[in-house]
Amino acid sequence: MNLYLRYFDRETLVSTVDDAIEFLSSIEEIEMNPLLEEDIRAYVASDIFYPKRYKIHPRVYFIIIKTDAATMQDFKEKKALHPAEENKAKPVAPALVRLTEECYGWYEGMLEFKRVLLVPGTGKFQYRDTQFSARVKAISGMDCYQRIVDYLRERVDDRSQFPSAKGKNFKFRYLGKVKQ
């Protein structure tokens, strides 16, 4: 494994931690001390593969990246990705794709929204987090969301606030096809 180091326009690709420390020591602005050297050695020895940055001054950093690239050109062209990055499982389906995927049938939708309610005694109104769930016939997750919101708009105060269908406050699941 090699190490890519960069400080502004100075960069290098080295094969050992000693070479990395030597490169950093050659830069005047970086004050190499035993604590920094120990931290760099610990990072290189660890199983962590995300880049590590070190603060030199406010808003001034240098970075170290572990890589399997043999040359600087391979690193720049991203030819040597770490095996853990290559073998990552692909996400099943992004939420937006699932939301618009058409499959006519029964859906169960759960919506958490801000409902305006009158406070007895004071005559003032307040927002309350309210959960609502329903089973509806729909074409897609988005259609399920629209049907639930349309139903609620007719039955709650106009000032109530509904979340986006893409947000975490709306969940749905497909229950099955509609029997004909």
pLDDT digits over 93-114, tens only? 566 778 888 889 999 999 999 9
Place of tokens 């326009």: 9
Q: Are 98 and 174 in contact (CB under 8 A)?
A: no
Instruction: Compute the distance between CA of residue 2 and CA of residue 169 in angstroms, rounded to an integer.
Output: 44
84 compared with 140, residue with greater pLDDT: 140
3-state secondary structure of 99: helix
Provide the residue ranges of all domains of the chain, joining segments of one domain with +.
1-78, 92-174
Number of Cβ within a 10 Å radius of residue 155: 8
Place of tokens 């290098």: 12
Q: pTM of this prediction?
A: 0.48
Instruction: Compute the distance between CA of residue 38 and CA of residue 20 in angstroms, rounded to an integer.
Output: 12
Positive or negative: CA dihedral 150, 155, 158, 161: negative
Place of tokens 């720049």: 76
pLDDT digits over 157-175, tens only? 889 999 988 888 999 998 8
